[in-house]
Amino acid sequence: MRTQKIHAFILKKTPYKESDFILQLFTLEKGLLSCLVKGVRKNNKWKSDFELFTLIEAEYIIPKDKNSLRKIISIEGSSPIEKDFGYNELLSISVISEICLKNCPEHHPIERIFNLLYYTRLSLNADNKRFLIIFLVKFFSIIGLFPEFKHCGVCNQQISSNVLWNKQIICSKCNNVQEENLDFTEVKVLYFFQMNDFQNCLKVKMDQELKNKLFNKVCKEFLHHTEKSIKTLDLHNDDFM
Ligand SMILES: [Zn+2]
pLDDT at 235 (0 to 100): 63
What φ, ψ does residue 234 adopt, rounded to 5°? -60, -20
| pLDDT score, position 239 | 42
CA Rg value for the chain: 20
Q: What is the pTM of this model?
A: 0.90
Pairing of strands 70-77, 31-37: parallel
- 171 C-alpha to ligand 1 centroid (Å): 4
163 three-class SS? strand
Which domains can be identified in the chain, with CATH numbers?
Answer: 3-77 (2.40.50.140), 87-240 (1.20.1440.120)
* Ligand 1 center–CA 149 separation, angstroms: 12
Q: How far is CA 24 from CA 15, 19, 37, 150, 172, in A?
A: 12, 17, 11, 36, 44
DSSP state string for 208-233: HHHHHHHHHHHHHHHHHHH----GGG
d(CA 151, ligand 1 centre) in Å: 8
Q: What is the whole-number distance in angstroms between the Cα of residue 201 and the centre of ligand 1? A: 27
Q: In a structure prediction context, what are the per-residue pLDDT tens digits for the chain, which is 241 residues long?
A: 899 999 999 999 999 988 889 999 999 999 999 999 988 777 666 655 678 888 999 999 999 887 788 999 988 876 555 566 788 888 899 999 999 999 998 889 999 999 999 999 988 887 888 999 999 999 999 999 999 999 999 999 999 999 999 889 999 999 888 789 999 999 999 999 999 999 999 999 999 999 999 999 998 888 877 766 777 776 665 543 4
